[in-house]
A and B are shown apart, each in its own frame.
Chain A
Amino acid sequence: MTLLSADHVCVRYGAHEVLHDISLKIAPGEIVTILGPNGSGKSTLLRALLGILPVAEGRILREAGLRIGYVPQRLTIDRTMPITVRRFLSLPVRVRDRAAAGTLARVGMSGQEGAQMTALSGGQLQRVLLARALLGRPQLLMLDEPTAGLDQPGEAAFYRLIEEVRAETGAAVLMVSHDLHVVMAASDRVICLNGHICCEGTPRVVSTAPEYRALFGLGTQGALALYRHEHDHDHRDGHPQHHHHHGHDHDHA
Chain B
Amino acid sequence: MLDDFLIRAGLAAVGLSLATGPLGSFVIWRRMAYFGDATAHAAVLGVALALATDLPIGLGTLTVALAMAVTVAGLSARGWAMDTTLGVLAHSALAFGLVAVSFFPTVRTDLSSYLFGDILAVTRTELALVWAGALAVLGLLAWRWQALLTATLSEDLAHAAGLRPDRERLILVLALALVVAVALKIVGALLIAAMLLIPAAAARSFARTPEAMAALAILIGAVSGLGGLGLSLWQDTPTGPSMIVVAALLFALTSLRRRV
Interface residues of A (CB under 8 A from B): 47, 50-52, 68, 70, 72, 75, 77-78, 80-84, 87-88, 90-94, 114, 116, 136, 142
Which residues on B sit within 8 Å (CB–CB) of A116? 208
Residues of A within 8 A of B152 (CB): 81
Kindly list chain B residues whose C-beta atoms are within 8 Å of the C-beta of A72. Answer: 154, 156-157
The 3 closest A-B CB pairs, nearest first, are: A70-B160, A92-B150, A82-B207
| Cβ of A81 to closest chain B Cβ, rounded Å | 5
> B156 contacts A91, CB within 8 Å?
no
Most buried by B among A83, A116, A142: A83
Q: Report how many residues on chain B are interfacial, defined by Cβ distance under 8 Å.
A: 27
Q: Does B124 touch A at the CB level, under 8 Å?
A: no
Contact of B160 among A83, A93, A142 (CB under 8 A): A142
Instruction: Flag if A92 contacts B156 (CB, 8 Å).
Output: no
Mind listing 21 A-B residue pairs with CB under 8 Å? A50-B156, A52-B156, A52-B160, A72-B154, A78-B29, A80-B29, A81-B29, A82-B207, A83-B153, A83-B210, A87-B210, A88-B153, A90-B146, A91-B146, A91-B149, A92-B147, A92-B158, A92-B161, A92-B163, A136-B161, A142-B160
**B204 in contact (CB, < 8 A):** yes
Provide the residues of chain B in CB contact with A68, threshold 8 Å.
Answer: 160
Contact of B208 among A47, A70, A77, A84 (CB under 8 A): A84
B196 sits at the interface (CB 8 A) = no
Distance of B29 from chain A, by nearest CB (Å): 5
Residue B212 interfacial (CB < 8 Å): yes
In the bound complex, CA of A70 to CA of B162 (Å): 11
Distance to closest chain B CB from A195 (angstroms): 22
On whether the beta carbons of B210 and A82 are closer than 8 Å, the reply is yes
Question: How many angstroms from the CA of A160 to the CA of B160 in the assembled complex?
Answer: 24
B235 within 8 A of A: no
Bound Cα distance from A88 to B153, whole angstroms: 9
CB distance from B208 to the nearest CB of A (A): 5
Other-chain residue from B146, B154, B207, B209 in contact with A94 (beta carbon distance below 8 A): B146
Q: CB-nearest residue of chain B relative to A47?
A: B156
Smallest CB gap from B148: residue in A: A92
The docked-state distance in angstroms from the alpha carbon of A114 to that of B208 is 9
Asked if A82 and B209 sit within 8 Å, CB to CB, the answer is: yes
Nearest B residue to A132 via CB reads B157
| A97→B217 CA distance, assembly (Å) | 27
Q: Say whether B167 faces chain A, with CB atoms less than 8 Å apart.
A: no
Q: Is the CB of B204 within 8 A of A70?
A: no
- When C-beta atoms are compared, the residue in chain B nearest to A52 turns out to be B159
B213 interface hit (Cβ, 8 Å): yes
Q: Do B159 and A51 have beta carbons less than 8 Å apart?
A: yes
Identify the interface centre among A50, A72, A78, A82: most chain B CB within 10 Å of its CB.
A82
Does B245 count as interface, using CB distance less than 8 angstroms?
no
Given the known interface contacts A50-B160, A142-B160, the answer about A75 and B210 at a Cβ–Cβ threshold of 8 Å is no
Contacts of A51 in B (CB 8 A): 159-160
Query: 18 additional contacts, CB 8 Å, given A52-B159, A83-B209?
Result: A51-B159, A52-B155, A52-B160, A72-B154, A75-B153, A75-B157, A78-B31, A80-B201, A80-B204, A81-B152, A82-B207, A82-B208, A83-B153, A91-B150, A92-B147, A92-B150, A93-B161, A136-B161
Query: In the bound complex, how far is the Cα of B161 from the Cα of A9, in angstroms?
Result: 22
- Asked whether A77 lies within 8 Å of B156 as measured between CB atoms, the reply is no
* Contact bitstring B48-86, A, C-beta under 8 A = 1, else 0: 000000000000000000000000000000000000000
Q: How far is the CA of A81 from the CA of B209 in the complex (A)?
A: 8
Given contacts A81-B29, A82-B207, A82-B209, contact A75 B154 (CB under 8 A): yes
Given A47-B156, A50-B159, A72-B156; A92-B146 close (CB under 8 Å): yes
Let me know if B28 is at the binding interface, CB within 8 A: yes
A115 CB to nearest B CB, Å: 10
Query: How far is it, in angstroms, between the C-alpha of A94 and the C-alpha of B156 when the chains are bound?
Result: 19
- Shortest C-beta distance, B219 to chain A (Å), equals 15
CB of B204 within 8 A of CB of A87, answer: no
A84 touches B150 (CB 8 A): no
Closest to B161 in A: A92
Please, which residue of chain A has its CB at the minimum distance from the CB of B200? A80
Mark B192-212 against chain A: 1 for CB-CB distance below 8 A, else 0: 000000000100100111111
Q: From residue B215, how far is it (CB to closest CB) to chain A in Å?
A: 12
State A51–B161 Cα separation when bound (angstroms): 10
